[in-house]
Structure 1
Amino acid sequence: MRDELNEELTLMLLYLNSWQEKLGDFQVTRSWKGYDYATLNLLSEKGLIDGSGRKKSVYFYPQGVEEAKRLFEKYGLKID
């Protein structure tokens, strides 16, 4: 339970502190990856974010954005 909650809260914080950035012809959602690397690796393995390499930020996959939004609803939190 604790590990699952840690993953959920990390994804929510990543999304809460994210910004939109143009990457070629696409808009991507990015966030700084100042969180536990083991948790970031799990989120990456689940296909929610891409934080590989020595980059200081992560990119959200579309399903990661949707999952973060779903978690905010799950916990009764509203974001704009």
Structure 2
Amino acid sequence: MDRTPKQVQDLTLALLYLTSLEDHDDPASRRCWKGYDFQTLADLQAQGLVEDTQGRIPLRLPPQGIAQAKAVLQALGLEDPRP
């Protein structure tokens, strides 16, 4: 159940993507730090847009989360800085 506003979720997802690193264990995914509101992260996880990594600090952005983050950036008129 979403408890945080959709705009907060979208912007958090975009920031997670923009600050993410390559995931060497899964090249289709990216790793990011979970220094954001825990409820927002829980809502994003419930939607399948981020994955917890068994309590470790980094989260995983799966392909669907990456695609959604790119869509948010595009909707905001921002270019994706990743090659």
Please, what TM-score do these two structures have when normalized by structure 2?
0.85
Unaligned runs of 5+ in 1: none
Unaligned runs of 5+ in 2: none
Return closer, same or farther for 1:52/1:41 CA change in 2, 3 Å cut-off.
farther
Q: Is 1:48–1:61's contact at 8 Å kept on the other side of the alignment? A: yes
- Partner residue in 2 for 1:19: 21
Deviation track 1:13-46 (CA, whole Å, cap 9, x = no partner) reads 00000010211xx313010000000000000000
Please, what TM-score do these two structures have when normalized by structure 1?
0.88
Would you say how many aligned residue pairs link Structure 1 and Structure 2? 77
- Partner residue in 2 for 1:30: 31
Bigger relative contact order, structure 1 or 2 (CA pairs below 8 A, ≥6 apart): 2
Say what the alpha-carbon RMSD is for the aligned residues.
1.4
User: Which structure is higher in strand share?
Assistant: 1
